[in-house]
Structure 1
Amino acid sequence: MSRFIRNEKGVTLIELLAVLIIGSLIMSLIIGVVINSQRTYTSQTNAAEQLAEIRYAVKAITKEVRKAERIKVEENKLTIDHDTRLVIQRQNGEVRQNNSVLATHIGALKFAVDGRLLSISIATEETNGKKQETKAEIYLRDGVSVEK
């Protein structure tokens, strides 16, 4: 009988448990890396989308300012007069041009004028400890009247 047991091939319970534990550790490490990669991807995608929205808002504001005949600059509000009157301001975390939304999740919007130079500063709301800010300067053409 002892000869029969010595020749029997198989896996013991201890060996099976050891393989399961090692496999579980490896799988938990792999899952941790995948989850961390997904969080990073999501964070970077959101940041890129916010930056794209800010660039769009600055581009739209620049386009309207270049057509302006008269502008009125306040710290958080810009009024542009040409064919129609446009009011650009931050309301409830959005940059609005009259009733149209140009960008969302905006933490700050500031306008300043120095002679013929209009400065625009737009900053996103802080997400994950990060805030993105874009600044633009627009030289006003001759003939545009500026009110402060």
Structure 2
Amino acid sequence: MKKYLRNEKGLTLVEVLAVIIIGSIILLLISNVHVFGQKQYNSQSEKSRHLSDVTYAAKVITKEIRKADERGIVNVDEKGDHIKLTDRIEYKYNRAEKWIENKDKTIVVKDISKFEAKRTGSQVNLKIISETGEKVETKIILRKGD
């Protein structure tokens, strides 16, 4: 019996606790790195989506403006948040809901913090800024009508 009691093979309680504490610290660090990476991914994905949405809206509106000649632009209002091309083509910025909609009340793009359109002579300046700060600005020169 004394032979078994003097056997020092195995782990002591202190060694087991040390391994558990070191393992917990390593797992905590790994999980923090993972959570940080996930937050960065989500943030960059959101910014990328907003940039894509703002670019799409600018392309659609620019395309419609370019189709119209100088007389086709019926109205760019004083506030700059409403463009009316012909009786059937119209884009309006809804400040309360933060989106741009067309005449049929179909939403073109959401999460817009600023939409500005200004007409000076035969030029229309268009600026769209998303909630995350992505910005698209363009100047459109209107064609002369016959």
Give the TM-score normalised by the residue count of structure 2. Answer: 0.87
Q: State the SS of the aligned residue for 1:52.
A: helix
**Aligned residues with identical type, % of pairs:** 33
Displacement after TM superposition at 1:119 (Å): 0.7
Task: Find the partner of 2:140 among 125, 129, 138.
Answer: 138
- Counterpart in the other structure of 2:93: 90
**Contact 2:54–2:134 (CA under 8 A) maintained in structure 1:** no
Displacement after TM superposition at 1:139 (Å): 1.1
Give deviations 1:78-118, integer Å, cap 9, x for gaps. Answer: 0001xx42221111211111122111001110001222221
CA distance in 1 between counterparts of 2:125 and 2:2 reads 92
Counterpart residue type for residue 25 of structure 2? L
Q: State the SS of the aligned residue for 2:100.
A: strand
Which segments of structure 1 move beyond 2 Å, counting only runs of 4 or more?
Answer: 1-8
CA distance in 2 between counterparts of 1:143 and 1:100 reads 29
Q: State the SS of the aligned residue for 1:7.
A: coil
Give deviations 1:11-42, integer Å, cap 9, x for gaps. Answer: 00000000000000000000000001001100
CA distance in 2 between counterparts of 1:106 and 1:89 reads 12
Specify every segment of 5 or more residues in structure 1 that has no aligned partner in the other structure, as ranges: none
Give deviations 1:21-64, integer Å, cap 9, x for gaps. Answer: 00000000000000010011001101101111111101110111
CA distance in 1 between counterparts of 2:118 and 2:93 reads 15
CA distance in 1 between counterparts of 2:9 and 2:67 reads 87
CA distance in 1 between counterparts of 2:38 and 2:89 reads 41
Counterpart residue type for residue 62 of structure 1? T
Aligned length: 138
- Give the aligned CA root-mean-square deviation in angstroms: 1.7
Give the TM-score normalised by the residue count of structure 1. Answer: 0.86
Counterpart residue type for residue 67 of structure 2? K
- Counterpart in the other structure of 2:45: 45
CA distance in 2 between counterparts of 1:116 and 1:143 reads 11
More strand by share: 1
